């Protein structure tokens, strides 16, 4: 009789362990299942002059269709975005006019957030790579219909130009569910 009770006790223990394991796996799959997409976002930022010594902002509005951008109509929510590379290329003139540059995102629903910097800008070329920020939390911008890219250029001296334009190319890793 005690052998039967021992068997029944072990049997119930296995059922409980199996059920617990099943629910653990179910929870892990429900929480996981995220997808990743690597994309390139290109824009031209611009501002009208004159430009005075110090910070001057060039801007571009970015309309978003995030499902189209990542190529997945099943996308429900962007959970993480990392800028893996950002490059600025002047359309006219060279980088010699600037001390440094800051690349930021801003929108009606989100505060201004720095995503990349160049400090100092050295050289006289037309193109330069930014140092990107791994800590910038920018996923909320990609859950909106649009946001603004702001390139803040620190001019070395006053420049009476009609317009300044720069192309900004960003490689992004987007995680979503």
* pLDDT at residue 149 is higher than 60: yes
Average model confidence (pLDDT) across the chain: 87
**Strand order of the sheet with strand 54-63?**
127-129, 78-90, 163-176, 35-48, 54-63, 146-155, 98-106, 113-118, 131-132
- Per-residue DSSP letter, 51: B
Question: 30 pLDDT exceeds 90?
Answer: no
Q: What would the DSSP string read from start to end of 1-46?
A: -HHHHHHHHHHHHHHHHHHHHHHHHHHHHHH---EEEEEEEEEEEE
Residue 54: pLDDT over 70 = yes
């Amino acid at each position: 009789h005690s052998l039967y009770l021992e068997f029944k006790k072990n049997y119930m223990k296995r059922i409980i362990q199996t059920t617990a394991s099943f629910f653990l796996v179910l929870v892990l799959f429900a929480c996981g299942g995220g997808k990743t997409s690597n994309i390139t976002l290109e824009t031209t930022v611009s501002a009208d002059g004159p430009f005075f010594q110090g910070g001057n902002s060039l801007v571009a509005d970015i309309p978003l269709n995030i499902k189209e951008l990542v190529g997945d109509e099943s996308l429900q929510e962007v959970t993480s975005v990392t800028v893996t590379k950002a490059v600025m290329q002047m359309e006219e003139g060279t980088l010699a006019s600037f001390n440094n540059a800051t690349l930021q995102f801003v929108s009606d629903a989100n505060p201004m957030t720095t995503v990349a910097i160049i400090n100092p800008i050295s050289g006289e070329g037309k193109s330069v790579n930014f140092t990107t920020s791994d800590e910038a939390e920018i996923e909320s911008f990609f859950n909106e219909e649009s946001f603004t890219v702001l390139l803040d250029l620190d001019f070395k001296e006053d420049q009476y130009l009609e317009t300044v334009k720069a192309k900004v190319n960003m490689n992004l890793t987007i995680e979503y569910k």
